[in-house]
Amino acid sequence: MSDSSLRATVPGPAGAGGANKLTAWLARAPAWLFSLYAVAMAFTTYFCMYSYRKPFAAASYEGLAAGSLELKSALVISQLMGYALSKFLGIKVNSEMPRHRRIWALILLIAWAEIALVIFAVVPSEAKIVAIFFNGVPLGMVWGLVFSFLEGRQTSEILGAGLSCSYIVASGAVKSVGKWLMTQHDIDQFWMPALTGLMFLPLFLLTAYGLHLLPHPSEQDVEVRVSRVPMHRRERRVFALRYWLGFAFLVFVYLFLTAYRDYRDNFAAELWDDMGYASAPEVFTISELPIAFSVMAVLSLLYLIKDNRLGMLGTFIIMITGSLLVFLSTLLYDLGMLSGMVYMILVGLGLYLAYVPYGCVLFDRMIAALGVVATSVFLIYVSDAVGYSGSVAVRLYKDLGQPDLSELDFFRQFSYATGISTTILFSLSGIYFMRRARHP
């Protein structure tokens, strides 16, 4: 099979003549060139989304409180609640979204998020919690819309790995931008998030339109990876009932991983301060770059496994390895064998090796291995909805149940619990789905 046969021969979205020409060209392009274009558009689009979600976490809001909680904790919890609600809404909205509406949905969601950040800047302190909640509500649906352009292709592992690098790098990068605006340009900490988002808006619009121009999956893509069609209520119910036990294992694992990832992400500033890096704002970005490239390299290797059953097995092995790395790197740090920088990189690598496959590889391979007609976005959003609810619960437990424990000490304890529990549950889920996957 030639590289060009991997692409669709019929242009996808309709539009101006130039747009149709680009789509037609992409349909005929070699697989490597198509993948490079698709990764660039998807990576940049989702990277820009983080400029509306994470910059507020770069500020400390010292001396400010919301009831019995510090203001920053209240803001983190409020945005997480909005983001979790978005994931629940996305189970229906994203699963049923037709292709031609995705570009307009992306623009509407980002405009909503930016308006909420402007309101966040101007309202009194007690109302800022409400504003940041409404900032989170649209953003949770962006991932599903972006990944919908990529799933169901023979190169989905490479495309998904490239997309996933965006949120590994973006969270630290946009916080670095936010910190830079406050320290170098004296921007108020409440206006900084809105200004950061505005800076990334032109690039977001450009690359979102670039995604819209991608051709549909080819006939060969459909033959190898199964057709991906919108899942309505009946289809979602049938899938959930048929594979409920294995899926429940995965959802419970994702609860741990999402809460753990969000804790590390939202309180990175405090964790770095506790480890002695308070005067080095560049650590937000520097520490994430090797993680992003390593995760992308490992997941891209799954493209070499053509058998979907073995590809799913390889995915589970990668996730189990990541869970073990979270546990072992924390143990080595506690024994004084790792520096703070090395520890944050290793624990982050383990976290993302376990976490990233959910959003780009695991369900794509699973659908193909099981031989069912479904969409990865539905499975991703069920997991996300439960996972971000867990993030809220963990933050409330820390603030109300263990308020005297430092962020670093709590993070270490959380690392042990996450590493052990996810290793066990990944193993059980892997056995479950391997027994039900079809042989070539």
Mean pLDDT score of the chain: 85
Instruction: Tell whether the model's pLDDT for residue 418 goes beyond 80.
Output: yes
Question: Is the confidence at residue 8, as pLDDT, over 80?
Answer: no
- For residue 199, is pLDDT > 90? yes
The answer to whether the CB of 152 falls within 8 A of the CB of 222 is yes
pLDDT tens-digit profile of 207-259? 999 999 999 887 777 776 655 566 667 777 787 788 888 888 998 898 889 88
The three-state secondary structure class of 45 is helix
- Cα end-to-end distance, the chain, whole Å: 18
pLDDT in tens, 95-130: 788 888 999 999 999 999 999 999 999 999 889 999
Predicted pLDDT of residue 227: 56
**So what's the pLDDT on residue 228?**
57
User: What is this structure's pTM?
Assistant: 0.75
Q: Does residue 38 surpass a pLDDT of 70?
A: yes
Contact 355, 258 (CB under 8 A): yes
Residue 9 pLDDT > 80: no
Task: Assess contact for 72 and 283: CB atoms under 8 A.
Answer: no
Distance CA 277, CA 183 (A): 16
Rounded distance between C-alpha atoms, residue 175 and residue 181, angstroms? 10
The secondary structure of 48-94, three-state, reads: HHHHHHCHHHHCCCCCCEECCEEHHHHHHHHHHHHHHHHHHHHHHHH
The partner residues of 7 in beta bridges, in order of sequence, read 217
* pLDDT at residue 7 in the model: 42
Q: Supply the CATH number for residue 77's domain.
A: 1.20.1250.20
> Which residues constitute the domain of residue 100?
3-436
Number of domains in the chain: 1
Kindly state the greatest CA–CA separation across the chain: 64
Measure the CA–CA gap between 350 and 423, rounded to whole angstroms.
11
Query: Does residue 68 register a pLDDT over 90?
Result: no
Q: What average pLDDT score do residues 65-93 get?
A: 86
pLDDT at 15: 43
